[in-house]
Amino acid sequence: MFVLWAHPSLVGLPLAALLIIAPGGERSSGWTQPIAGLLGVSLALVVLSGGSGSRLAAATSAYIVLMTAAFVSFVLLKPAPILRQAFRSIAAAGLATALLVQAIWGSEAWGALAWEATRQASITMRSIVEVAPDAFPIYEPMVRFVSLTWPGMLALQTLAGLALAWQLYRRVAARTVGESVAPAPARFRDFYMSDGWVWGIVAWLGVLILPASSVLQMAGTNLGLVASALYVLRGAAIVATFAEAFGISALALVIVSAAAAALAVPLLFVLPGLCTLGITDTWYHYRRRLAEARERQRSNTH
């Protein structure tokens, strides 16, 4: 499913790099050829994508390589939760890619990148409209939105790719080394990020309401997109926690989520609701209150 949404090298390249630096000794010697194959395929995909003649593809390929190098460096230098390492890697690779684009192509490259993003979004939406003509009214708004938010979408794809790569790496390392690799990913219902991300939502609302330059509008919109996606996940984690507390099975939640995804109208209400729930958790700490209430209930029964 991931490869239908994002570049496969966002998983393959970090995973191959992590496996190369993994401790293993003789027990991991059997993984030499698979690791080499994974690394070769990932690099080939990056090279082919970057060599397509598109500046946007070339910049994305450079970002993937730089992000992988930054992620592995952070993992080696200082162990930390995977989400924090991913944010650090995205920031470092994004800054390095921006400096590289500026140094090689100059200031006019940013206009070319924006035009290519618009063209790709237009092609994608045109193919969707051909299959589903009812989607034509959202053609232009979606093209504008996708062309404006491709950096934020790339950041979200990177977060998902690194989380998947780290999970696969831990499984392989556990089989070859015989011990788990720290830090372990947190359970989904424990998903949490810094409360400072609420300022990303504030920045997004600011550029929507107040007059702003195109640079500030793009920066605020992309920051808001990433923050909104994180708060949707945080809201979903809260729902999962309360569902478990009240005896609602995970299968029921999956069925409801699939139905909401299949029907666009419910989805338009579910996503803002989850985002709002995640944002308000900044002040109300729903899961902590639930844990305290259950602890008091257990104390009263004893």
Residue among 169, 200, 245 at smallest CA distance from 87: 200
What does the mean pLDDT of the chain come to?
A: 83
Q: Binning pLDDT at 50, 70 and 90, where does residue 33 land? A: very low
Task: Give mean pLDDT, residues 16-42.
Answer: 59
Q: Is 22 left (phi over 0), alpha (psi -120 to 50) or beta?
A: beta
Buried b (16+ CB within 10 A) or exposed e, 170-190: bebbeebeeeebeeeeeeebe
> 299 phi and psi, to 5 degrees?
-65, -40
Instruction: Specify the pLDDT at position 16.
Output: 82
Q: Are 45 and 7 in contact (CB under 8 A)?
A: yes
Give whichever of 78-92, 164-178, 249-263 has the largest mean pLDDT.
Answer: 78-92
Alpha-carbon gap, residue 205 to 183, rounded angstroms: 35
Does 180 have pLDDT greater than 70?
no
Residues 141-153 have pLDDT tens digits of 888 888 899 999 9
Q: List C-alpha distances in Å: 257 to 66, 174, 191, 240.
A: 35, 32, 18, 12
Please state the length of the chain: 302
pTM for the model: 0.86
Does 30 have pLDDT greater than 60?
no
Does 37 have pLDDT greater than 90?
no
The better pLDDT of the pair 21, 283 is held by: 283
